[in-house]
Copies of this chain bind each other. A is one copy, B any other.
């Protein structure tokens, strides 16, 4: 069953608000195993709203329209729905009475314009909206289910879950579930990963495979649709095994687990604490470690030695005439363990740009020291200052993960 989402409102086109409704509805549809091929956004213009409804009705089994059903002059969705479906507008005396009662109970006189909300295309059912005065609409037109819900997110969500989805699921004739498993990798480029999994990607339908990249981490998402969660997981399993086999050397976590979770898990096992020594990333590695609730159990603290002199005086770096190299990174990490009283320390030095510092902009050197030893690695990162710092932060966390999980790295 294919469902299309339409959002009505000039404020969306003008970028005054983000279309979070479409995204929320999309996630709910996916959870129910329903397909969605298109979303449309249209301003408060009768002919254009009518056109997008016609387009959606012609290609989808159900259409969910958000916005444009309030009491003001620019609320045109009801009228556009009449125009798109060739239906007459009718008036619900009973809903009008309900509205009048609603206002009366609040001791206020109802503005007349509110009666517009009792109007509906002939054949439509009014969906009571307990969170506002604008009712939703449900209309079965030429075997396509059409729903109108308010644009206010809380009202939209209430009607979506309580009125819209039950009707769509019933029409779709079955409880389908969609389950995703995510494999998180680091150390391989998005394109390299794409080549390695090309055959699986091309042959994938159910389960399907997707790639999502952020600051150096690449997530591989396997998604399956089935009648039950167990069956969906059974569909996922062979592909997951196959992918795990191919990407094992870069795989570091599943689903919602983060690199911080893995680091903290390893620290817990050893009874270790961690600290940071940063220059180029200026505190970002420390900020990332402490972004996780419960970090205080493992994180002692960090030193940002932005000025080279502090690398010498506080961290014991012996030669600060050059600081973008592996020797400096190792000394920074070793020094941070001592200064901050931690078992493990991760350090970052480098040249963030835009001006080169000793080495070309984009040079990042990460060091890690643990009770088992110390090692450093120099890398070259693409992009501008912001991106180099972000990738440098990911690299520091990932190399710290390798070290505390006993995997280290070769160079």
Q: Which residues of A contact B (CB under 8 A)?
A: 10-20, 22-30, 36-43, 45, 48, 52, 70-74, 102, 105-108, 110-114, 130-133, 154, 189-192, 194-195, 198, 201-202, 210-212, 273, 276, 278, 281-287, 289-291, 293, 295-296, 299-307, 309-310, 313-314, 339-341, 353-355, 362, 380-387, 389
Residue of B nearest to A73 (CB): B201
What are the 7 closest A-B residue pairs judged by CB atoms, nearest first? A15-B27, A282-B290, A283-B283, A283-B286, A15-B26, A72-B194, A39-B41
Shortest Cβ gap from A140 to chain B (Å): 24
Could you say which residues of chain B place their CB within 8 Å of the CB of A132? 382-383
Contact partner of A37 (CB less than 8 A), chosen from B30, B45, B301, is B45
Inter-chain CA distance A346–B40, complex, in Å, is 45
Could you say which residues of chain B place their CB within 8 Å of the CB of A154? 386-387
- Contact in complex: B210, A11 (CB < 8 Å): yes
Could you say which residues of chain B place their CB within 8 Å of the CB of A38? 13, 40-42, 48, 52
- Contact in complex: A113, B191 (CB < 8 Å): yes
Shortest Cβ gap from A361 to chain B (Å): 10
Inter-chain CA distance A110–B195, complex, in Å, is 11
- Contact in complex: B310, A305 (CB < 8 Å): no
Shortest Cβ gap from A279 to chain B (Å): 8
22 contacts between A and B (CB under 8 A): A13-B30, A13-B37, A18-B20, A18-B23, A38-B41, A106-B381, A111-B194, A112-B195, A131-B383, A282-B302, A283-B283, A283-B304, A286-B304, A287-B389, A290-B304, A291-B385, A291-B389, A293-B385, A302-B306, A303-B303, A303-B304, A310-B340
Inter-chain CA distance A114–B73, complex, in Å, is 51
Could you say which residues of chain B place their CB within 8 Å of the CB of A70? 190-191
- Contact in complex: A307, B296 (CB < 8 Å): yes
Residue of B nearest to A292 (CB): B385
- Contact in complex: A71, B307 (CB < 8 Å): no
Inter-chain CA distance A107–B364, complex, in Å, is 13
Inter-chain CA distance A389–B10, complex, in Å, is 29
Could you say which residues of chain B place their CB within 8 Å of the CB of A276? 283, 304
A25-B15, A283-B283 given as contacts; is B300 within 8 A of A302 (CB)?
A: no
Inter-chain CA distance A25–B12, complex, in Å, is 11
Shortest Cβ gap from A75 to chain B (Å): 9
Could you say which residues of chain B place their CB within 8 Å of the CB of A201? 72-74
Residue of B nearest to A342 (CB): B307
Inter-chain CA distance A291–B256, complex, in Å, is 28
Inter-chain CA distance A202–B284, complex, in Å, is 42
Could you say which residues of chain B place their CB within 8 Å of the CB of A110? 191
Inter-chain CA distance A187–B191, complex, in Å, is 46
Inter-chain CA distance A198–B387, complex, in Å, is 39
- Contact in complex: A190, B71 (CB < 8 Å): yes
Since A36-B43, A72-B194, A276-B304 are in contact, a sample of 16 more A-B pairs with Cβ atoms closer than 8 Å, ordered by chain A residue number, is A14-B36, A18-B23, A19-B19, A37-B43, A39-B41, A71-B190, A73-B194, A102-B382, A114-B191, A131-B384, A154-B386, A281-B287, A286-B304, A287-B287, A301-B303, A304-B304
